[in-house]
Homo-oligomer: A and B are copies of this chain.
Amino acid sequence: MKRLAGSLLLILCILSGVQATPADSLLAGPKYVLVIHGGAGTILKSQMTPAKEKAYIAALEQALKAGYAVISKGGSSLDAVEAAVRVMEDSPLFNAGKGAVFTNEGKNELDAAIMNGKTLEAGAVAGVTTIRNPITAARAVMEKSQHVMMMGAGAEKFAKEAGLEIVDPSYFYTEDRWRGLQRAKAQDSVKAQLDHADTAKVSLLGIANHDYKFGTVGAVALDKAGNLAAATSTGGMTNKKFGRVGDAPIIGAGTYANNATCAISCTGWGEYFIRLSVAKTSSDLMEYKGLSVKDATSEMIMKKVPALGGDGGLIALDKDGNMAWPFNTAGMYRGCITADGKVEVKIYKE
């Protein structure tokens, strides 16, 4: 009987051993090569028209395919994230490039950052108003200067000298965002009359203004050489004042990539993401605490950010092709594509 039990145990051990490899690869899931987001916020199905939903899905798929075309041909993750973000910058649907939200002064001030996980090289621009694709300017800062971050008129001068496409500020105008600014100003005026702290937050998070502070776009990619890259681009916060800079162009806050851990692009209430260095801390939770990409990013988005009073989401891809896209808002425009070309696009919480 004892011998029988021992033999059974041995058989069980062997079986579990045999099963280990397929079970592990099943647990690891498909290998992702590109993940994108088009902003997190109060995105509710009840507020969406079928036509608008269809347009967002089409734009996200187009961005995914632009990035995938690079990766599948053996191109670099840097080229892939830049290509995907450029599609979203050129689309009026997202708060980046054309379609960016307006500042209090009625201007479009754009921020972007990019990072190379292989070399830890990074580039960023903040508060630029004439560069058609800020993500390409961020990349030029990374590759064609000794600097990491440039701001305002200086960054625009650099982009022009680097041969990037310069546009008239009116290029970024969209009727929808202009109306958003008028709504935000009207709400701020009500808020000022009420002089009530909670109202300020309600105003910032108002369902009618789901794009009031959200709508950043971003991409993370893993190429065939095993290199990670991350890119983020945004118009910032509707009605923003005083040259406010959010988390998107801050390396470590809204954007980070390191081949040893993961690539990350964030979206949300930028101030909280800066105060917690959300992107770098996620990477550090993997490197120094041994957490998986899912657990590390969930720790930040589902615990630390809301504990401080903030909200938003992020996309992340680790060096083994595991991905995570946690968000604590009603929705986040997001999509991913695996090595075999399988596309998945989502908008709402599931």
- A residues with CB within 8 A of B: 115, 120-122, 126-127, 145-155, 157-158, 200, 204, 240-246, 250-253, 256, 270-271, 274-277, 280-281, 284-285, 288-289, 308
Residues on the B chain within 8 Å of A243, using CB: 150-155, 158
Closest-by-CB residue of B relative to A252 is B277
Determine how close the nearest CB of chain B comes to the CB of A262; give it in whole angstroms: 14
List chain B residues, Cβ under 8 A from A241: 154, 158
Interface centre among A151, A204, A276, A285 (most CB of B within 10 A): A151
Are B280 and A155 in contact, CB atoms less than 8 angstroms apart? no
Q: Does A122 contact B274, Cβ atoms closer than 8 Å? A: yes
Task: Name the residue of chain B whose CB is nearest to the CB of A276.
Answer: B120
Copy number in the complex reads 2
Picked from B146, B250, B271, B281, the residue with its CB within 8 Å of the CB of A271 is: B146
CB of A113 to closest CB in B, whole Å: 10
Residues of B within 8 A of A284 (CB): 280-281, 284-285, 288
**Residues of chain B with a CB closer than 8 A to A271's CB:** 146-148
Residue numbers in B under 8 Å from A150 (CB-CB): 242-245
B126-A275 in contact (CB<8A):
no
Residues on B with beta carbons closer than 8 Å to the beta carbon of A244: 147, 149-150, 154
Name the residue on B nearest A279 (C-beta). B277
Contact residue among B157, B245, B256 (Cβ-Cβ distance under 8 Å from A242): B157
A280 interface neighbour in B154, B158, B252, Cβ under 8 Å: B252
User: How far does the alpha carbon of A85 sit from the alpha carbon of B344 in the complex, in Å?
Assistant: 51
Cβ contact within 8 Å between B149 and A245: yes
B152, A152: Cβ atoms closer than 8 Å: yes
**Are A242 and B274 in contact, CB atoms less than 8 angstroms apart?**
no
26 A-B pairs in the complex with CB atoms less than 8 angstroms apart: A120-B276, A121-B275, A127-B151, A146-B204, A147-B240, A147-B244, A148-B274, A149-B245, A149-B246, A150-B242, A150-B243, A151-B151, A151-B152, A151-B243, A151-B245, A152-B152, A152-B243, A154-B243, A154-B244, A158-B243, A250-B252, A251-B277, A252-B253, A256-B277, A277-B277, A288-B289
A158 to B242, CA, bound (A): 6
Closest B residue to A249 using CB positions: B245
Q: Is the CB of A277 within 8 A of B280?
A: yes
Rounded to whole Å, the gap between the CB of A237 and the closest CB of chain B is 9
